[in-house]
Amino acid sequence: MKDAINLALETGKFEARVQKIQKRIIICAGTGCVANGALKIYRRFQEIFTERNLPFVVELKEEPKEKSFYISESGCQGFCQMGPLVTIEPDGILYVQVKTEDVLEIIDNTLVQDQKIERLLFKNPNNGKACVGQSEIEFYKRQSRTVLKNCGKINPTDIREYIYNGGYSAAEKAYLSMTPDAICDEITYSGLRGRGGGGFLTGRKWSLTLKQNSAKKYIICNGDEGDPGAFMDRSIMEGNPHAVIEGMMIAAKAIGADEGYVYVRLEYPLAVRRMKEAVKQAMEYGILGDNLFKTQNKFTITIMEGAGAFVCGEETALISSIEGKRGMPAPKPPFPAESGLWEKPTVINNVETLATVPLIIDKGANEFRKCGTPNSPGTKTFALTGHVVNTGLIEVPFGTTLREIVYNIGGGVVDSKGEIDPSGFKAVQIGGPSGGCLTQEQLDLPLDFDSLRSIGAMVGSGGLVVMNHDTCMVKFAQFFMKFTQNESCGKCVLCREGTKQMLALMDDIVEGRADEHTLELLEQLAPAVQKGSLCGLGKTAPNPVLSTLAQFRAEYDAHVFQKRCPAKECKALLTPEIIEEKCKGCGVCIKKCPANAITGEKKQAHVINENLCIKCMACVEACKLNAIAVGA
């Protein structure tokens, strides 16, 4: 084990190794690209280099004997819609949607002959122009990638590369030249607010914990990211795990902790593996353990895998889970800063918050505050998904408008066929199950903690789901209601039973059983669930329903009073109709109908008996002539 590593010395060693690299081939190995075959591409590069007897390395543990190619993995590069991604440095070339059969051409043309392969370059959808690299692609150009800067560039499994890029210098500064009070003051002045959803001032939380008189304190990194469609924290842990460790080290110095836990959900196997490897490397290099940076401080980290309960994102439930008990929230006060893990003072921050901390200590709070808004400084990562051209992981300054994200970074809204529809925007769900809907009227609203709270929405962990006009907002709200009801731990009657009743009412609306009292009951029950629930899950569970009720009341009225779904998504409210002039009487629909609701002679237009029809839509799917329309 190395004794309090000299960062400058290690940087110099790595610099010598980098000088021996001809070109670097970076294969995006985030979860999305891995699912699409990125690791096969990674291995194929190595196979062909070996067959061609070309010098290459896959790690920079030591200085190569000759000028070599460096084949490495990276974390998520963000442009998930276009993966698998392969970047060639120092040329700045980004190849998209790469397949294993493209590898030989990349080696022969780009690496050996310095020729670009235009068919593998991203094409601007507006003018068809081929974009060589990130600097020419609007998706990247309009972002401010700071926390995510290294996620798609460095090898997340190599601590030496993290150190070479300035890693652990902020921790060294904190341990050697800053007092705990000074660290807390710097983070407080920076205005850093928790990126996990609550938006509480990080520095204030640390200061409260620092003041507690206890010989034992803990730091917990909350990596239990459970919102549907959210993958920000996962991507940071996969792509830059040492930044999370460094943030935890600085937090530990600030409050006087000597032990930390990273709580990661079991569904994130790649994040778990890379965090464990990063902790192991940090221990081997003497960065974690005893006598940190030759001081009397010590700090160790344990990676704990959670069972995937959404409620464990709530800090007291998370603490209960780490202690080996069922993950259920506890009343507050006392707050974890006073009595947390094993009744000791504890700081809990989410992954993105902790990964931001080294940037603040390194550059200073004043520099950090130059980006974002006065009350929400810095940047925020978002998972951009749904009916948008460019889905993926993005990072923008607080205060960026929804219009900028959807139309410039996201490339615009697409219709059900995947074609760009300039007028297709209907809404964005922000903040996952705890958030709310933003509509056309909020496209120019600056996204920050305070502006969103003013309209009844919230930043949440950072999920952004874009919806076009083909989306049924009632069914969408029902989906989130079902999610939160399933995830309720059952401790509170209002959450356990209230969400169940709300879901039953939503089911009645979607399935055509609702009457004039249904919406009234829904509006009465939702505030009761909000007020009577113990934790954030229950208190925010009604938000998607209340938000869509406020923004799309006409859709609810259509479902309840007219028994129709304007978006034609709720099957129980749709009636298939045979178009007489298109029907050739082939009989295919008769064979597919499970209710025997279709009759007709051969070569003559058939008829659907509405009284027998169960609205399964099997006839619509079976008809090759498009002779059966769905009315609404």
Segment 91-127, tens digit of pLDDT: 999 999 999 999 999 999 999 999 999 999 999 887 8
Alpha-carbon distance of 485 to 461, in angstroms, equals 19
Say yes or no to pLDDT of 419 above 50: yes
Question: Which amino acid belongs to residue 170?
Answer: A
Last residue of a domain, one of 133, 150, 180: 133
Overall average pLDDT of the 465-492 stretch = 92
Alpha-carbon distance of 149 to 78, in angstroms, equals 10
Place of tokens 């009234």: 520
Decide if 235 contacts 76 (C-beta within 8 A): yes
pLDDT tier at 631, thresholds 50, 70, 90: low
Total domains in the fold of the chain: 5
Instruction: Please check whether residues 349 and 362 belong to one and the same domain.
Output: yes
Instruction: Check which CATH number belongs to the domain holding 593 and give it.
Output: 3.30.70.20
Helix H or strand E segment including 171: helix 169-177
Half-sphere exposure of residue 601, counting CA atoms within 13 Å on the CB side?
A: 2
Instruction: Check which CATH number belongs to the domain holding 27 and give it.
Output: 3.40.30.10
**pLDDT tens track for 601-612:** 998 999 998 888
Residue 2 is predicted with a pLDDT of 54
Residue 312 is predicted with a pLDDT of 83
Say yes or no to pLDDT of 11 above 60: yes
Overall average pLDDT of the 7-35 stretch = 88
CA distances from 337 to 205, 304, 340, 536 (A): 7, 21, 6, 18
Instruction: Please check whether residues 483 and 611 belong to one and the same domain.
Output: no
Structure tokens at 383: 């998972």
Last residue of a domain, one of 369, 391, 412: 369
Say yes or no to pLDDT of 592 above 50: yes
566 occurs within a structural domain: no
64 occurs within a structural domain: yes
Instruction: Please check whether residues 408 and 319 belong to one and the same domain.
Output: no
Say yes or no to pLDDT of 456 above 70: yes
Alpha-carbon distance of 307 to 226, in angstroms, equals 11
Instruction: Please check whether residues 557 and 579 belong to one and the same domain.
Output: no
Say yes or no to pLDDT of 518 above 90: yes
CA distances from 365 to 168, 204, 221 (A): 18, 15, 22
The separation between CA 269 and the C-alpha centre of its own chain, rounded to angstroms, equals 15
460 occurs within a structural domain: yes
550 occurs within a structural domain: yes
601 occurs within a structural domain: yes
**pLDDT tens track for 117-172:** 999 999 988 788 999 999 999 999 999 999 999 998 999 999 999 999 999 999 99
Instruction: Please check whether residues 247 and 327 belong to one and the same domain.
Output: yes
Mean pLDDT estimate for the chain: 92
Alpha-carbon distance of 548 to 551, in angstroms, equals 5
How many residues belong to the chain? 632
Question: Which amino acid belongs to residue 474?
Answer: V
Instruction: Please check whether residues 428 and 310 belong to one and the same domain.
Output: no
Instruction: Please check whether residues 219 and 357 belong to one and the same domain.
Output: yes
Alpha-carbon distance of 573 to 154, in angstroms, equals 52
Percentage of residues in the chain having pLDDT higher than 70: 99
**pLDDT tens track for 539-574:** 888 998 999 999 999 999 999 998 889 998 898 888
Instruction: Please check whether residues 467 and 479 belong to one and the same domain.
Output: no
Percentage of residues in the chain having pLDDT higher than 90: 72
148 occurs within a structural domain: no
Which one-letter DSSP state was computed for residue 81? G
Instruction: Please check whether residues 185 and 295 belong to one and the same domain.
Output: yes
Angle at which helix 518-532 crosses helix 553-561, to 10 degrees, equals 130
Instruction: Please check whether residues 619 and 521 belong to one and the same domain.
Output: no
Instruction: Check which CATH number belongs to the domain holding 555 and give it.
Output: 1.20.1440.230
Structure tokens at 281: 């490397």
139 occurs within a structural domain: no
Residue 416 is predicted with a pLDDT of 83
Q: What sign does the dihedral 388-394-399-400 (CA atoms) show?
A: negative
Instruction: Please check whether residues 513 and 598 belong to one and the same domain.
Output: no
Domain limits for position 31: 7-133
142 occurs within a structural domain: no
pLDDT tier at 577, thresholds 50, 70, 90: confident
Instruction: Check which CATH number belongs to the domain holding 266 and give it.
Output: 3.40.50.11540
Say yes or no to pLDDT of 256 above 90: yes
Instruction: Please check whether residues 189 and 267 belong to one and the same domain.
Output: yes
Alpha-carbon distance of 198 to 219, in angstroms, equals 18
Decide if 184 contacts 207 (C-beta within 8 A): yes
Residue 1 is predicted with a pLDDT of 43
Overall average pLDDT of the 437-464 stretch = 87
Last residue of a domain, one of 306, 340, 369: 369
